[in-house]
Amino acid sequence: MRKRYLLILLASLCTLLLLTGCFQGEQSLPDMDPPPNAEAVDGQENQATDNEAGNTEDTGEADQTEEPNQTVLRQLFLLDSNGLVAPQSVELPVPDSKAVASQVLEYLVQDGPVTSLLPNGFQAVLPAGTEVLGVSIEEGTATVDLSEEFNEYAAQDEKKILEAMTFTLTQFDTIDRVKLRVSGKDLTSMPVDGTPISNGYTRANGINIVQSDTIDLINSKAVTMYFPTEHDDNQYFVPVTQYVEVKDGDVHQAIVDALIEGPTYDTNLMHVFNDQTMLLDDPKLNSGVLELVFNQDVLIDKGNGVIPDEVMETLVRTLTEQESIEAVNIKVENVEQIANENGEVYSEPVTRESLSPSEKL
């Protein structure tokens, strides 16, 4: 009996030892990595050792740890190879919302951040080393504070600097006028050639002004018109301000007539209209939309009603410089609908924003 009891006791002890060994072995197993496609449980995220090592795989989703480089398209008015101030659309980094105006001015500085972005034949207009100390905007006026380096420019560049800064800043809907300071001191005139600026500078002051001795200034109006030109296969539009003779008080007719006549020979700009092009009716302005009715010579493909892209852009850019005009509606005699050179029908009046969107600050 005693022997049987000892055998039972020994068997129990062996069983207990075996169970203890199994538990200890289970506890000593190494930690296992989760399956590659495992999802987080109870709000806890899995940590991938490959990501920690920098070996990330592109899954098509944005990396949560690193923001992508974002850019925005802006218009910068720069000097082209002919010495004219002309707009170029450039991708700039997205700045803090309060620094947009300062940023576009910084990209007008020679040898500044714009250098690597300049199209062939173009150069920046502000003197090298100029710093934008601040820009304040109030009731449509942008007051720009610049460093002392701004004073170091050639006299013949003074108007170009004013024009480039003004047209660059007034691309924004909230800016109509530009005033200048140097190191916090208001400027009443430009520091080199003395151009008066006590009231600020606006687009009405003109750009690339064309002088003419043959125009009757009493019956004329200064108008900024846009004409295309090219440099190294880069086509762009150049604004020029010149006087147009206004007959019978119809300034819109006078502007279109001047566009059809084309730019002056010394500007190196393109004449885009067929010489036989003419308006068949007086321009009509209704709720900001100017309606123009042309003969078929305005088209390059009369059978399909195709109007040259350069003609449409020349008309729209020029006419929407007038405060009363927001869009242009082109019609052609005996043509039901007109289209661009890609065959896309103009079903609505064309706005400047469709060519180069504006933005509020």
Strands 185-186 and 177-182: antiparallel
Whether the Cβ atoms of residue 332 and residue 296 lie closer than 8 Å to each other: yes
Q: Alpha carbon of 143 to those of 7, 135, 225: distances in Å?
A: 103, 6, 27
Q: Are 106 and 132 in contact (CB under 8 A)?
A: yes
**Nearest partner of 224 among 308, 310, 317, judged by Cα:** 317
- Give yes or no for a contact between 92 and 115, defined as CB atoms under 8 angstroms apart: no
Rounded CA separation 253/259 (Å)? 10
* Closest C-alpha among 309, 237, 225, 263 to residue 89: 237
What is the b/e burial string over 155-182, where b = at least 16 CB atoms within 10 angstroms of the residue's CB? eebbbbbbbbbbbbbbbbebbbbbbbbb
At residue 108, the pLDDT reads: 98
What is the structure's pLDDT at 64? 43
Count of Cβ atoms closer than 10 Å to residue 280 Cβ: 12
| Ranges of residues in the chain whose predicted pLDDT is under 70 | 1-68, 97-98, 213-214, 356-361
Structure tokens at 35: 């399956």
Residue pair 243/215 in contact by the 8 Å Cβ criterion: yes
Residue 16's pLDDT is what?
A: 39
DSSP single-letter state for residue 217: G
Q: How many CA atoms lie within 13 A of 126 on its CB side?
A: 25
Residue 55's pLDDT is 36
Which among 171, 189, 192, 193 is positioned nearest to 180, based on CA atoms? 189
At 24 the pLDDT is: 44
pLDDT at residue 359 in the model: 60
Task: Answer for the pair 228, 235: CB distance below 8 angstroms, yes or no.
Answer: yes
Residue 317: Cβ-neighbour burial (10 angstroms; 0-12, 13-18, 19+) = buried
The whole-number pLDDT of residue 290 equals: 98
Q: What Å distances lie between residue 76 and 122, 170, 198, 210, CA to CA?
A: 11, 11, 24, 22
How far is it, in rounded angstroms, from Cα 159 to Cα 208? 9
Q: How far is CA 73 from CA 22, 94, 171, 248, 273, in A?
A: 68, 9, 12, 42, 30
User: Residue 26's pLDDT is what?
Assistant: 39
If residue 90 lies in a helix (H) or strand (E), which one and from where to where? strand 85-93
